[in-house]
């Protein structure tokens, strides 16, 4: 299947955010959109400030976190590019969002994923304590728990986010959609590389559990409430407990179509 090959760049997405603000007619939110969009001169500066605002606590100040995030985004521009792609994916796949401004300011899945991206870089660079702190705050604030060791691609849409758990050695490809209460976990009997590998274009429907170091192939669909314990071939639909393939080939990119229905066509 063909995934989205070209996405708008960071500057274009920043322009969309600024345009969304200019069309907003809500005086009670003027301070919020002013501080995090109108008064910022770039997407990365806005994002660093917004993430810090969302997860700061009594012990680690918003100012210290904003500095941490700004340094991370400056050192690794790929984080910023992934955030822009994630934001576009959120709007493209969720009709409940009238503009990019809504998921940017309010969506737990989008914001939690961006904090994770910074935590992942810190974890990779040996700063494990602060990475684990960020993981903890994301779990507390956004109700999603992603180990900082997990590797996540771009254009990823985490819808609702509540109850999402992703383990340390999990790998998630590009253009994946993850709904609420999805678990990418271990079986409890393994060590080392013990978490799932989710290829590009996959849709993980609400409540899906993928356990162990198994591969879910490109453009596969995992049905709501299913428990995957073995490999799922590319382009197939798997449902049930334990999950089994019920459709041999999808004709779209499930993560982009967001169609959670299925039929029994082997």
pLDDT band at 3 (very low <50, low <70, confident <90, very high): very low
Tokens of 174: 């590009």
Give the model's pLDDT for residue 4.
45
Beta strands in 64-136 (DSSP E): none
Tens digit of each residue's pLDDT (9 = 90 or more) over 111-155 = 999 999 999 999 999 999 999 999 999 999 999 999 999 999 999
The domain over range 8-143 is classified in CATH as 1.10.3130.10 = yes
Q: Which fold has domain 150-266?
A: UDP N-Acetylglucosamine Acyltransferase; domain 1 (2.160.10)
Tens digit of each residue's pLDDT (9 = 90 or more) over 143-197 = 999 999 999 999 999 999 999 999 999 999 999 999 999 999 998 877 899 999 9
What residue spans define the domains of the chain? 8-143, 150-266
Distance CA 201, CA 203 (A): 7
Give the model's pLDDT for residue 191.
81
Three-class SS string for 124-168? Answer: HCCCHHHHHHHHHHHHHHHCCEECCCCEECCCCEECCCCCCEECC
Tokens of 31: 């301070």
Distance CA 265, CA 136 (A): 42
Distance CA 214, CA 226 (A): 15
On the 0-12 / 13-18 / 19+ scale of CB atoms within 10 A, 146 is: buried
Q: Beta 244-247 vs 237-239: how paired, if at all?
A: antiparallel
């Amino acid at each position: 299947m063909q995934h989205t090959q070209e996405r708008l760049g960071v500057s274009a997405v920043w322009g969309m955010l600024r345009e969304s603000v200019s069309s907003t007619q809500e005086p009670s939110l003027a301070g919020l959109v002013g501080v995090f969009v109108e008064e910022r001169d770039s997407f990365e500066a806005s994002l660093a400030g917004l993430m810090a605002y969302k997860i700061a606590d009594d012990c680690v100040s918003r100012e210290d976190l904003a500095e941490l995030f700004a340094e991370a985004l400056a050192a690794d521009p790929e984080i910023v590019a992934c955030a822009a792609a994630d934001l576009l994916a959120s709007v493209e796949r969720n009709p409940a969002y009238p503009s990019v401004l809504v998921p940017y300011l309010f969506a737990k899945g989008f914001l939690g994923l961006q904090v994770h991206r910074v935590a992942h870089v810190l974890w990779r660079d040996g700063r494990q304590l602060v990475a684990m702190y960020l993981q903890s705050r994301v779990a507390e604030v956004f109700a999603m728990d992603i180990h900082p060791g997990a590797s996540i691609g771009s254009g990823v849409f985490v819808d609702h986010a509540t109850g999402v758990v992703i383990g340390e050695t999990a790998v998630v490809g590009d253009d994946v959609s993850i709904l609420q209460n999805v678990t990418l976990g271990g079986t409890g009997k393994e060590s080392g590389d013990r978490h799932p590998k989710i290829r590009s274009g996959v849709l993980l429907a609400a409540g899906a559990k993928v356990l162990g170091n198994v591969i879910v192939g490109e453009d596969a669909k995992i049905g709501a409430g299913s428990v995957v314990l073995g490999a799922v071939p590319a382009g197939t639909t798997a449902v049930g407990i334990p999950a089994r393939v019920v459709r041999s080939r999808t004709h779209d990119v499930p993560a982009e179509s967001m169609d959670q229905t299925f039929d029994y066509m082997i």
